[in-house]
């Protein structure tokens, strides 16, 4: 994702709150497994 503008980052929809969220550096290696936008949504499955 080096050199990609913020508006061109990939995004997903949270399975709990249905809000869109974008790619983050800390999710670089596990992006395919990310389902939730936040810890709050992850705990409120």
Answer whether residue 26 is part of any domain: yes
DSSP state of 9: S
Look at the chain and report how many structural domains it folds into: 1
How many Å apart are CA 40 and CA 9, to the nearest integer?
23
Q: What is the pLDDT of residues 1-45, one digit of tens each?
A: 677 788 889 999 999 999 999 999 999 999 999 999 999 999 987
Instruction: Answer whether 0.75 is exceeded by the pTM.
Output: yes
Answer whether residue 1 is part of any domain: no
33 is in which domain, residue-wise?
Answer: 6-43
> Strand, coil or helix: what is 21?
strand
> Where is 27: in which H helix or E strand?
none
Burial of residue 1, with CB atoms counted within 10 A of its CB: 0-12 exposed, 13-18 middle, 19 or more buried: exposed
Answer whether residue 11 is part of any domain: yes
Check if the beta carbon of residue 38 is closer than 8 Å to that of residue 44: no
Please give the pLDDT value at position 6: 84
């Amino acid at each position: 994702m080096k050199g990609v503008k913020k508006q061109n980052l990939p995004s997903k929809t949270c399975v709990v709150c249905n809000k869109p969220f974008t790619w983050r550096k800390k999710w670089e290696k596990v992006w395919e497994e990310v389902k939730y936008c936040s810890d709050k949504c992850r705990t409120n499955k």
